[in-house]
Structure 1
Amino acid sequence: MRAGAALDGDGGCIARARHLAGTFLTRAQSEHGVLVSQRAMDLTQLVVSELVTNARKYAPGPALMDLRLDDGTVEVAVWDSDPVLPIARAADAGRVGQHGLEIVMAVAQGFEARREPVGKRITVRLALGDDPRDVGAVRPTASR
């Protein structure tokens, strides 16, 4: 199962991206029998928010977001036009702001940042179950 969106970079794109992620996971549950914990729902929307916020803040123009289910995980990929790869800063409780990448990396089961022919793509994988080590969280569907 996949979904994607072009985000125009305006002030409402972050909320729209979070809504799309929530709708995507809800559809996975209701239409395809995929087990999605509340933790996974919340973390996916958090990660989407952080990645789209960074794209909007640091890259001019639109961004693209792709969502994909794969073997007990949801994969969130965000492309933007800025080729500079993000670097997580050292933890600093006194620093105000700029903790988004730290948060994303702390909750992710996988993280990749790579340059594209134009811009960059950040890809994050999150477990669908309550335990981040869960994989294959797909509920068998009844045969008809």
Structure 2
Amino acid sequence: MNLARLGEGLEPLMDRPIAVSAVFEDSGGIAEARDMAREFLASVQAVHGLPVSKRAMGMVQLVVSELVTNARKYAHGPCLLTLEVEGGAVQVSVWDSSTTLPSVQAADAQRVGQHGLEIVMAVCQSFAVHREPVGKRITATVVLADDPSGDAAGRQAM
């Protein structure tokens, strides 16, 4: 056996992305998706030593819940949730089979319901929707650690 070639073409463990994915096919999957996000972030902190603030833990679970709920509510078939840590933030990505892009309604304190995407966009550092060859993918980014000055990380009010 040629040991010089043994590791050829393999990425070192430290260079591999920290990520997890799962498919959800029914409304019961929404709670499972939140649990997966919480367990993933706990692992990011415990195993990989990356700081995850309590705020980030809650915000990621909220974003996962909103995006998976919308995918289950408005698209036929399964949805795919992917969580990936990169550059001090976690990217929450949800794919579904619907080609209809989500619409964010104008702020209206009198409206009951349908505030989910408004909230997601407010708590995330970035938010994007991309058409896929089949369906669409929504990606939101949440910073893992709060600013040392105590300010919550994310979009700043203008």
Q: Quick check: TM above 0.5?
A: yes
**For the residues of structure 1 that align with 2:65 and 2:146, how far apart are their CA atoms?**
20
Q: Which has the higher contact order (CA 8 A, sep 6+)?
A: 1
**For the residues of structure 2 that align with 1:11 and 1:69, how far apart are their CA atoms?**
26
1:116 deviation in Å?
0.3
Partner residue, 2:54: 38
**For the residues of structure 1 that align with 2:140 and 2:100, how far apart are their CA atoms?**
17
The number of equivalent residue pairs is: 132
Which of 108, 111, 115 aligns to 2:127? It is: 111
Bigger CA radius of gyration = 2
Partner residue, 1:74: 90
Q: TM-score, normalised by structure 1?
A: 0.90
Partner residue, 1:87: 103
Q: Secondary structure of the residue that 1:93 maps to in structure 2?
A: coil
Could you give the per-residue CA deviations for residues 52-103 of structure 1, whole angstroms, max 9, x where no partner exists?
0000110011000000001110000000010111121100011111000000
5+ long unaligned stretches in structure 2: 1-17, 148-152
Superposed CA RMSD in Å reads 0.8
1:11 deviation in Å?
2.3
